[in-house]
Amino acid sequence: MAHLKTLATTRNLAKRAKWKWAIIQKIYERGFSERDIVTLFNIIDSMMALSKSLQADLIKKVNRLEQERSMSLVSPSIKLTQKVTKEDLIIKLFSLRFGVIEQILTEQIRKLSDEQLEELINVLLTLPNITELERWLQSRTKSV
């Protein structure tokens, strides 16, 4: 079911989140063991990817459900517990905008100070192409 609903909601993450929640509720209703639930969560999470905010909302619902059922499971979404740095977010946004970012550019981004990262966030959407990103980084990383 998770696979079919993932295919059916390729361009609609909000609808996918609703289906993911419905599937999770069914798992709890069927009375699977904690180990089986965690295994199924991992499979569903890998298959039915959501935006971070939708995933966070889903986890809140799952936590409420677990509290209602007095279950003590490890959080079902390992992805949610992973720390996303500013650098990771910036690199991801540039990758989405311009395609694959060369490793040398990602290394330069990771070497930026917090102040420079904030500055880059502020100009992120105004840089028209990857060449301008390269120029921006070169002008900031000479002293790094």
pLDDT at 32: 79
73 contacts 34 by C-beta, under 8 angstroms: yes
Angle between helices 86-98 and 103-110 (to 10 degrees): 150
Report which residue type is found at 45.
D
Non-local (6+) Cβ contacts of 133 within 8 A are 94, 98, 105, 127
pLDDT in tens, the chain (144 residues): 888 999 999 899 999 999 999 999 998 888 778 788 888 888 888 889 999 899 889 988 888 887 777 644 445 554 444 556 788 888 888 888 888 788 888 889 988 988 898 889 888 888 888 899 999 998 887 654
**Where do the domains of the chain lie?**
2-81, 86-141
